[in-house]
Amino acid sequence: MIRPQLPIIRPRRAKRHFRRSRNTGAALLLGPALALASLPAHAASDGDLTRPQVAACSTRYAPVQTLAMKANDDPEDWVKDTLGGQRRWGEQNLQQLSAADSDLGAPALRVTYPQGTSSPSDAEEGGAGFVMPVPALRQADRACLRYQVRFQSGFDFVKGGKLPGLYGGDGPTGGDEVTGENGFSMRLMWRKQGQGELYEYVANKESDYGESVGRGRWRFTPGQWVTVEQEIVLNDPDEENGIARIWIDGQPTLEQHGIVYRTTDRVHIDGLMFSTFFGGHGSDWRTPRDQTVDFADFTLMVPKT
């Protein structure tokens, strides 16, 4: 039985014209009914967002690369040499977490945000970042990223901060213009009181910086590991039919349609953008004390063949 199409959210139209996809996405919304968690009242402004009606992407995709630390790995060498990380910064804020301390039975990566820091362009450098191209994605037009994240107990979220996501092309960030030909970035963010959201640099965004999507659809609980899954499906270059989906701890959380990731078929999904810091920029974003967030189990996947 075909279910009626659920409402979707479409980003604001780019300055150039695109054909709307003739595929309404209904086929992507088939499947058993899924329980919907209650939303905070302020999320009513996101009423056009829905939750994925397909299984979590890790069940439909096959891994092509994992980012697992080994005992005694030096974090800086791991990022530079093992992962081939590019555009690296904040290595001084990385440390390995032992298998025992991670509570996962395997080492993890701990990122420190020193007191008084926010974005990398602020007075002091807090957090860390790099981009990791993944040749095994093979110029993918759809991909899945899974990782685990744990905010320290008692974490003060302040106004918000960045979390990793998928990217393509030049991976624009930091107020960069997105032309449709220079790529995209699809990071996540935490916001006040641990609210989660997608933070998008795509061709049909309107903000001078990233576009905030789905704020409050989920929350990060300090002291607990949370599993994040992100699926993105690139648009046809002349249509507004790109898709983004999020699952949190395996639960369907957010689905967005109408995204323009690209205006040329030369742009594909290239890899992981590891990016985490408080901010925004400026004193009202800065962390009031030294704080940490742990990361583990990064896995990049492509559709099963």
Q: Which pLDDT tens digit goes with each residue over 272-289?
A: 999 999 999 889 999 999
Both tokens assigned to 130: 């790099």
CATH architecture of 52-303: Sandwich (2.60)
CB 229 within 8 A of CB 144: yes
CB count, 10 Å around CB of 136?
Answer: 13
Dist. CA 148–CA 162, nearest whole Å: 15
CB count, 10 Å around CB of 262?
Answer: 27
CB 50 within 8 A of CB 89: no
Indicate the DSSP class of residue 239: B
CB 278 within 8 A of CB 127: yes
Instruction: Return the SS3 of 278.
Output: strand
Which residues are within 8 A (CB) of 104 and not within 5 positions of it... i.e. 6 or more apart? 148, 225, 296, 297
Both tokens assigned to 184: 């995209």
Dist. CA 270–CA 171, nearest whole Å: 9
Dist. CA 103–CA 97, nearest whole Å: 10
Both tokens assigned to 36: 């919907």
Greatest alpha-carbon span in the chain:
58
85: burial class by Cβ within 10 Å (0-12, 13-18, 19+)? buried
Alpha-carbon distance values, 107 to 73, 94, 249 (Å): 9, 13, 20
Both tokens assigned to 109: 């990566």
Pick out the chain residues at pLDDT < 70: 1-48, 123
pLDDT digits (tens, 9 = 90+) for 218-263: 999 999 999 999 999 999 999 999 999 999 999 999 999 999 999 9
Q: Cα 122 to chain center, whole Å?
A: 22
Note the pLDDT of residue 262: 98
Strands 108-113 and 291-303: antiparallel
CB 235 within 8 A of CB 16: no
Dist. CA 189–CA 199, nearest whole Å: 6
Q: Which helix (H) or strand (E) holds 199?
A: strand 196-201
pTM score of the predicted model = 0.87
Dist. CA 139–CA 215, nearest whole Å: 30
CB 223 within 8 A of CB 207: no
For residues 219, 225, 231 and 232, what is the CA-based torsion angle, rounded to 10 degrees? 70
